[in-house]
């Protein structure tokens, strides 16, 4: 690898009201390397990348592209300097086709007339060249997130990016998709593309990167390589203290059945039966983990259980009674807490303050309201407490949730859902996008809820998370629960097989 720098930034400082998001940051990206950027939630990673991509203008700092000083004031400058970015929250137009999305923004300079035919051909060539299989005619909103992400990458390559910024690209991918992405990343670097890769998953960092830069509270705390460190070392560098990467938990003490699901079937948007005749139960004081490759009905199952999606057939009992499952408020009142999969779609109202988001499902109740009038003092008091307790990094609870970093947005949701008495917790990807320190904290909280007698249904794409939290594991495949096993009775590789749809021949399915 040549030692020339593809990109260098010096002394980048970026302030937001009340926040020093980047504090004299220096960062150097070598040609053809994969450079991981690591750091706690709110450390300033996305901000730095947005500065590099011209979305934010820094208060101070200099840019060098290929060793030459560069002026980057907006994304156009960045694109012409060969910088492409895939954002933490995708920026595609859902109702447009893949081709339309890719040429969006570069269409004007290409031709006087929108030449979709040529564009489609170019896209096909590009995706073949890099092994990024996308259908230019597909409509974006109908694609799984993994493919949507490919579209974002192709989009950057279509604009001739030599430097690619990937902001938490793996947070929403299945392990298989992650493997695919890593292959693509390596191919790209072989062709001279340099990549900045943000993730919270230390294993990924060690597996794929050439160098690693760690940020903490707006500053760069150091740069290292996978050869020089390990997971524990990285975690300590990030958080500034030792982190427990494994949760400690005692054995479960299951009591009465809290959630009982019988023969449940659910449609998705296209009227396809994606949850098929599912039956299971969750007892007070235990955690049932639902493992499965994403897109096997887990999302729809969770939505049906929380009143967000109509039930096609089957019954759901909560504490032995049928609850009106088409009414989310009745569920909340009955003690159901729900950490939704998509934090920006269901979990938050981004323009609302953190304080308002923290009472999103209880704003109408005492003490937050009385006789239809809201009590702002109580709302504020609640938020001050929770922000402190859950370590939400923000200048104050009045800040709009949309201004928070991705991981801190997630913490707001978790704080809200765990802050009221919980009988049943339905947690769908509860730690997506969180740093190791926060994951440790949230995991402890979930176990605390379990030990206090809550029934927990944990849905996670992270096998490690399921393995370390769950007491029993139900594997979902093609809308069906193909096995329910005690956590100790199954190895990770067996789980992988079950999730892929093959049956375990050696022993009968045991129902714990």
Ligand X SMILES: Nc1ncnc2c1ncn2[C@@H]1O[C@H](COP(=O)(O)OP(=O)(O)OP(=O)(O)O)[C@@H](O)[C@H]1O
- How many angstroms separate the CA atoms of 207 and 364, rounded? 48
Q: Could you tell me the smallest distance in angstroms from the CB atom of residue 232 to another protein?
A: 37
Nearer to another protein, 312 or 330 (CB): 330
Contact status: 218 vs Mg ion (CB under 5 A): no
Contact status: 42 vs ligand X (CB under 6 A): yes
Which pairing describes strands 369-370 and 373-374: parallel, antiparallel, or unpaired?
A: antiparallel
Contact status: 357 vs ligand X (CB under 6 A): no
Letters for 64-103 (x = contact with another protein by CB under 8 A, - = none) are: -----------------------------xxx--------
Looking at 39-47, 148-156, 288-296, 477-485, which segment touches ligand X (CB under 6 A)?
Answer: 39-47
Judge residue 486's burial from the number of C-beta atoms within 10 Å of its C-beta, 0-12 exposed, 13-18 middle, 19 or more buried: middle
Q: Which does 296 bind (CB under 5 to 8 A by kind): ligand X, Mg ion, another protein, none?
A: none
- How many angstroms separate the CA atoms of 425 and 266, rounded? 20
Q: Which of residues 6, 39, 46, 54 is near Mg ion by CB under 5 A?
A: 46
DSSP per residue, 74-126: SHHHHHHTTEEEE-SS----TTSBHHHHHHTTTHHHH-SS--HHHHHHHHHHH
- How many angstroms separate the CA atoms of 440 and 453, rounded? 20
Cα distances (Å, whole numbers) of residue 430 to 15, 228, 412: 30, 31, 11
- How many angstroms separate the CA atoms of 407 and 201, rounded? 13
Q: Could you tell me the smallest distance in angstroms from the CB atom of residue 18 to another protein?
A: 12
Q: Could you tell me the smallest distance in angstroms from the CB atom of residue 442 to ligand X?
A: 13
Contact status: 307 vs ligand X (CB under 6 A): no
- How many angstroms separate the CA atoms of 156 and 158, rounded? 5
Q: Which of residues 397, 406, 430, 479 is near Mg ion by CB under 5 A?
A: 406
User: Kind and range of the H or E element at 320?
Assistant: none
Contact between 395 and 19 (Cβ < 8 Å): yes
- How many angstroms separate the CA atoms of 128 and 109, rounded? 24
Letters for 368-397 (x = contact with another protein by CB under 8 A, - = none) are: -x--xxxxxx-xx----------------x
Count other Cβ atoms within 10 Å, centred on residue 76: 12
Contact status: 334 vs another protein (CB under 8 A): no
Beta strand residue intervals within 284-422, DSSP E: 287-291, 313-318, 321-322, 336-339, 369-370, 373-374
Nearer to another protein, 348 or 415 (CB): 348
Contact status: 351 vs another protein (CB under 8 A): yes
Q: Could you tell me the smallest distance in angstroms from the CB atom of residue 432 to Mg ion?
A: 12
Letters for 88-127 (x = contact with Mg ion by CB under 5 A, - = none) are: x---------------------------------------
The full 3-state SS of 473-490, as one line of letters, equals: EEEEECCEEEEEEEHHHC
Nearer to ligand X, 162 or 216 (CB): 216
Q: Could you tell me the smallest distance in angstroms from the CB atom of residue 85 to ligand X?
A: 13
Contact status: 149 vs another protein (CB under 8 A): no
Nearer to ligand X, 46 or 194 (CB): 46
Within positions 72 to 91, which residues make up the interface with Mg ion, using CB under 5 A?
A: 88
Q: Which residue is nearest to Mg ion (CB)?
A: 46
Looking at 94-102, 206-214, 277-285, 401-409, which segment touches ligand X (CB under 6 A)?
Answer: 401-409
Q: Give the binding site for Mg ion (CB under 5 A).
A: 46, 88, 405-406
Interface with ligand X by CB under 6 A: which residues?
Answer: 16, 19, 21, 39, 41-47, 88, 393-394, 403-408
């Amino acid at each position: 690898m040549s030692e020339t720098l593809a990109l260098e930034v010096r002394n980048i400082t970026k302030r937001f009201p009340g926040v020093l998001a980047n504090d004299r940051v220096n960062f150097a990206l070598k040609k053809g390397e994969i450079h991981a950027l690591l750091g706690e939630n709110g450390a300033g990673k996305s901000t730095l990348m947005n500065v590099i991509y011209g979305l934010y203008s820094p208060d101070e700092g200099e840019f060098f592209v290929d060793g030459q000083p560069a002026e980057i004031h907006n994304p156009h400058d960045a694109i012409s300097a060969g910088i492409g970015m895939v954002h933490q929250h995708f920026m595609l137009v859902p109702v447009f086709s893949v081709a339309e999305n890719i040429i969006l923004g570069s269409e004007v300079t290409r031709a006087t007339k929108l030449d979709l035919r040529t564009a489609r051909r170019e896209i096909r060539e590009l995706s073949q060249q890099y092994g990024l299989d996308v259908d230019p005619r597909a409509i974006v909103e109908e694609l799984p997130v993994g493919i949507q992400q490919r579209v974002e990458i192709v989009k950057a390559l279509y604009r001739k990016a030599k430097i690619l910024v990937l902001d938490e690209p793996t947070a929403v991918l299945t392990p298989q998709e992650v493997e695919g992405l890593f292959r693509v990343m390596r191919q790209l670097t072989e062709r001279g593309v340099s990549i900045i890769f943000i993730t919270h998953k230390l294993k990924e960092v060690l597996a794929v990167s050439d160098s690693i830069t760690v940020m903490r509270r707006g500053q760069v705390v150091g740069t290292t390589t996978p050869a020089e460190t390990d997971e524990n070392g990285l975690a300590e560098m990030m958080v500034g203290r030792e982190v427990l990467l494994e949760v400690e938990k005692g054995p479960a003490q299951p009591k009465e059945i809290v959630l009982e699901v019988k023969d449940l079937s659910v449609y998705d948007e296209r009227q396809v039966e994606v949850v098929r005749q599912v039956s299971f139960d969750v007892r007070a004081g235990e955690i049932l983990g639902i493992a499965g490759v994403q897109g096997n009905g887990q999302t729809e199952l969770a939505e049906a259980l929380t009143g967000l999606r109509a039930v096609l057939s089957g019954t759901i009992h909560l504490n032995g009674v049928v609850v009106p499952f088409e009414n989310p408020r009745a569920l909340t009142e009955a003690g159901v807490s729900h950490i939704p999969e998509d934090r920006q779609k269901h979990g938050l109202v981004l323009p609302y303050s953190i304080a308002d988001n923290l009472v999103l499902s209880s704003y109408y109740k005492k003490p937050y309201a009385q006789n239809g009038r809201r009590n702002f003092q109580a709302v504020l008091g609640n938020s001050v407490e929770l922000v402190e307790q859950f370590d939400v990094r923000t200048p104050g609870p009045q800040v709009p949730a949309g201004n928070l970093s991705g991981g801190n947005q997630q913490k707001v949701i978790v704080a809200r859902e765990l802050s009221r008495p919980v009988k049943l917790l339905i947690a769908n990807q509860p730690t997506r996008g969180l740093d190791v320190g926060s994951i440790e904290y949230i995991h402890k909280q979930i176990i605390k809820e379990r030990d206090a007698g809550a029934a927990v249904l944990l849905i996670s794409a992270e096998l490690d998370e399921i393995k370390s939290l769950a007491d029993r594991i139900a594997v979902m495949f093609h809308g069906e629960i193909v096995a329910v096993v005690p956590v100790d009775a199954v190895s990770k590789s067996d789980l992988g097989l079950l999730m892929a749809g093959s049956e375990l021949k050696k022993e009968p399915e045991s129902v714990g």
